[in-house]
Structure 1
Amino acid sequence: MKTKLLLCIAALAFSNLSTAETVLNAPEYKPLNNVRVSMQRMLRSSEGRYFLSLYAGIWNPHATLYDLVEPQTINLKGLQKGDQLNLKSVDADSENITNKTYQLSGILNPNSGDLKAMLADGDDTLGKFIQFEPAIKVSAKPNFIFKFYGQEDINQPYGSVLKRLDIVNKNNNNVAQSLTGFTAFPKSIGYMDINFDGYYDIVLSDISGERTIQDKRYIYWMFNPKTQQFQRSPQLEKIVGFPNVHGEKQQIDFGEGQLYQVEKGLLNRME
């Protein structure tokens, strides 16, 4: 019994030594503050007439409203205070043939994604009520927050680089996953549904090696609902350009004529 106990202690000692060496040799990452999470919500009105692409939770919330019955596109910008949104139409889009001014105001539920809103135009000060809900509904969607870690880098114009991203379960404050193995822009990340499966994916700006944000190279971490983990996508990372997601058509426009249709999670390039 004593021999076994001593062996266990010895094994534990060597195990602790190995762990200590690993920690000592690991890069030292420091918490990064003021990293903006640019979250795109894709919402559809309950009666199916309107589709709303909304970026909220940031200092300059903005959105694009699509009228699917009377084809029209309205670009909106404004302010957010708590869960209250107040957006007004900006430069009229070429598809906005009526050339009216619009205002969209409402209360956004950040957990469910539901938006209770009033839409008014210049001729109607009262407006009409619109109930928006997630365009793609899924059950048990995870509720995450993020913690960012990086290194100071005097060779970078940003002064630092993002090296680790901790995915934290907002319900219990436990770290669900730590993403590493990259060098990314430290000021903002994208959080959007790239493959239209109803779950948000993570997009980082790749500044490894000699790359800069002007190179428009991105790192994609796609959420797998079966494993409840984010998985990196080397296939998407081969495409140059920022992914402008058009939920109303389930298309992704990477610019420079790179337009893809998403069908059952697969990207098909459109000619």
Structure 2
Amino acid sequence: MTLTNLTFGHGNNKSTLCCLTDFMKALVLQLSTPSDHLRQVTASVLRNLSWRADVKSKAILREVGAVPALMHSAMETSKESTLKSILSALWNFSAHCNNNKVDICQVQGALPFLIEKMKSSTQTSMTIVENAGGVMRNISSHISVKENYRAILREHQCLPLLLEQLRSPSLTVVSNACGTLWNLSARCPQDQATLCALGAGPMLSSLIHSRHKMIAMGASAALKNLLNAAPAGGGPGPGPECNLFDKDSRGTPSLLIRKRRALEKELDANLAETCDNIDNADLASPLTPQVLIFPCTFY
């Protein structure tokens, strides 16, 4: 807990600690302890170290195996406060580099676990839903190019869940869902067909003018991907029920073409087909921040 406080907002302390390689290896080993409290404070230190880490610190954190250790620890813990800290750290780590995304996806059962934690329920706090969604948003750029990982998401009904999250009262949840849909809507006719059939078009269209930068960008890019996958004549696109406008847009081909062109003009032509890492410091909703735990008195 002392180390958590000392690494809060102090770049030099974070760099100094990361350079102590033997200590860092010992710290990561603490994630396998049976003590939930020790796992929680260990994850809190790693969360601080991974927040806006410098290049050398990122390399050392990867070298000591922090990412797979955190993922395994998240799947083993049953305490909510511990899971919050671990998923927060993973959210930061998943933005460091593509190799960290690969490490998360390669952990057996990691993707179904994250999908389950993205589901809102009376037993799941919104923070856990937000943190799990943040990890999924970042690793979705890797998932999008791996058919075996896409298949896992289909098996666990991830696309309907993401569209459901577009209606969440949490801007962070909506932002994460838009970013994930940005990647998953690209380069896959099967998933594009599913999104169209589920009515993704009108839902995304309603968000493209959001004042929240990530929501507007993600919704616009995902909608652009679906538009590019659908034929210009308004007929069947990647699936038999591809309506990108609204419930009452089953008009003549000429009407659909005009609506399509009007929608295309509203979208940023420079948006990439997929997004990898976006600098969250420039967005309205940043990555989950480092955490400060105030000193406690033990009796």
TM-score normalised per structure 1: 0.22
Higher helix share: 2
Specify the structure having the higher radius of gyration (Cα). 1
Q: Which has the higher strand share?
A: 1
